[in-house]
Amino acid sequence: MSWIKPDWPAPAYIHALTTTRSDGFSQGAYGHLNLGLHVNDDAATVEKNRQWLYQAAKLPELPRWLTQYHSTVVLTGETIVNAPKADASYTTQAHVVLAIMTADCLPILICHPEGKVIAAIHAGWRGLLDGIIHETIQRLPVPANECMAWLGPAISSQAYEMGDEVRALFLEQGACLSAFSKHNERWHMDLYALAREQLQKQGLSAIYGGNYCTYQESERFYSYRRDGVTGRMASLIWLDPIN
């Protein structure tokens, strides 16, 4: 299958993946594995894509989808039904499939190596600025320094232009200057660098991934900033029962 698996040293009972736009049934701008029901793709086709993913990835249950809105709302995965509004989730329970949808924003997956907890975060620039990483880490029932994180496919700094006002807001919060670089009089922002910095401030130092660009890899990934009308990838994480 064409999905991506995190390059982290998680044990075999922790499963995670990020889909690409390959496989699936959607047509046109949404081709092919669009998993988002909110982007004006044919709803029946999206459901068919979701069912294909459920079967192909051998998921223990259907993913617990969220209605993401760049908030700092964090839910426990086992309570999620009917796509409530939130931007992160976590669980200590086996067979609960956490899900985040993206098309340039940063998906962050977190796990405890002993399977004590897993989490999934939708981190666009607004969520990073407002503290979605902090809010999620604070909800976990284990110390952050015992966990590891994987940064999934997002827009890279080379393609992510941002205005002076957004840069100023991050710098007011003490964000690292190196997360911003200037090209042709425009600021470029590094979501990966900002996320790493925030995770480290929370005490989590085992951080992997962060080497993709949804904007530049058009055959592989959806990108809202590149295409406007487009689909959504999904990043999933779940636990097997631990005996």
The predicted-structure confidence for 23-62, as pLDDT tens digits, reads as follows 999 999 999 999 999 999 999 999 999 999 999 999 999 9
- Relative to beta strand 186-189, strand 180-183 is antiparallel
Looking at 3.60.140.10, 1.10.760.10, 3.90.1150.10, 3.40.190.10, the CATH number of the domain 14-156+203-239 comes to 3.60.140.10
Predicted confidence at residue 185, as pLDDT, reads 79
Where residue 71 falls among pLDDT bands split at 50, 70, 90? very high
Query: 115 or 185: whose pLDDT is higher?
Result: 115
Task: Give per-residue pLDDT as tens, 102-134.
Answer: 999 999 999 999 999 999 999 999 999 999 999
- Relative to beta strand 106-111, strand 148-151 is antiparallel
Task: Give per-residue pLDDT as tens, 1-22.
Answer: 789 999 999 999 999 999 999 9
Burial class (CB in 10 A: 0-12, 13-18, 19+), 78: middle
Pairwise CA distance, residues 26 & 33, whole Å: 6
Contacting residues for 97 by C-beta, under 8 A, at least 6 apart:
59, 60, 61, 62, 63, 64, 77, 236, 237, 238
Burial class (CB in 10 A: 0-12, 13-18, 19+), 219: exposed
Determine what percent of the chain falls in helix, strand and coil, rounding each to the nearest 5: 25, 25, 50
User: Residue 224: in which H helix or E strand, if any?
Assistant: helix 224-227
Q: Please say whether the beta carbons of 17 and 33 come within 8 A.
A: no
Pairwise CA distance, residues 85 & 82, whole Å: 9
Where residue 168 falls among pLDDT bands split at 50, 70, 90? very high
Show me where the domains of the chain are located.
Answer: 14-156+203-239
Predicted confidence at residue 170, as pLDDT, reads 96
